[in-house]
Amino acid sequence: MVSHVMTKAERMSMHSAARDLHVEFRGIFGEETIEELVLDSYAELASKATVAAWLVLGAERFARQRLQALAHVQAAARGQVPAVLFLCVHNAGRSQMALGWFACLAGDRAVAWSGGSEPVAGIDAGVVAAMAEVGIDISREFSKPWTDEFVLAADVVITMGCGDACPLLPGRHYEDWELDDPGGKTLEEIRPIRDEIRDRVTNLIEKLTGS
């Protein structure tokens, strides 16, 4: 595993991303806060990356998700929609399928994020193919760690095989979903896991939204 050192061109791109995010989150977060989070997101992903080409884009997307989670916490007192965090080991299979189903089925009634205790270079190709079969494209997702922003923003934390590595905070509702790990399995073997996750996510949304 290679940890990448940010190049001058990448640092300039990160500054540009921070400016764009500041426009997006104007009035919520200051520019310095956003730039610090962007650089930290790059460092988090770079520490696990095997290919550097996607790091700038990945860091911007990761930072945006972290800012959304922070904004969710700030808006919670104003009746913000429920939030869920899906966690597994690599954030390359189970939690990505759960997030894909959740985004598809919940719409704007709830929000969700995903993360892993040991993120890897990319999403499992079989998992991407299995979700594509049901019309859900997760090919642009990426494996990432969970951070405090996501845990603090979540009303419900769903764990899938990450055991003691999963974060525990008071005031959060935790559920552990015992699911086979799709890593290394064939498409035929992944389909039942995908469908079980769909059923569990459907039930979760019903509990969260009452519909």
pLDDT digits (tens, 9 = 90+) for 29-53: 777 888 888 888 888 888 776 656 6
The reported pLDDT for the residue numbered 50 is: 60
* In the chain, domain spans: 1-77, 81-211
From the candidates 88, 112, 138, 153, give the one annotated as an active-site residue.
Answer: 88
Contact (Cβ atoms closer than 8 angstroms) between residue 51 and residue 116 = no
The H-or-E segment that residue 40 falls in is helix 31-46
From the candidates 63, 97, 130, 166, give the one annotated as an active-site residue.
Answer: 166
Domains 1-77 and 81-211 share a fold: no
DSSP H helix total and E strand total for the chain: 7, 4
Q: Summarize the confidence of residues 6-31 as an average pLDDT.
A: 83
The torsion region of residue 161 among left (phi > 0), alpha (psi -120 to 50) and beta comes to: left
**Does 3.40.50.2300 match the CATH number of domain 81-211?**
yes
What's the whole-model pTM score?
Answer: 0.75
Whether 104 sits among the annotated catalytic residues: the reply is no
Whether 88 sits among the annotated catalytic residues: the reply is yes
Per-residue pLDDT tens over the stretch 81-100: 889 999 998 999 999 999 99
- Out of 3.40.50.300, 1.10.8.1060, 3.40.1110.10, 3.90.226.10, the CATH code matching 1-77 is 1.10.8.1060
From the candidates 162, 190, 204, 208, give the one annotated as an active-site residue.
Answer: 162
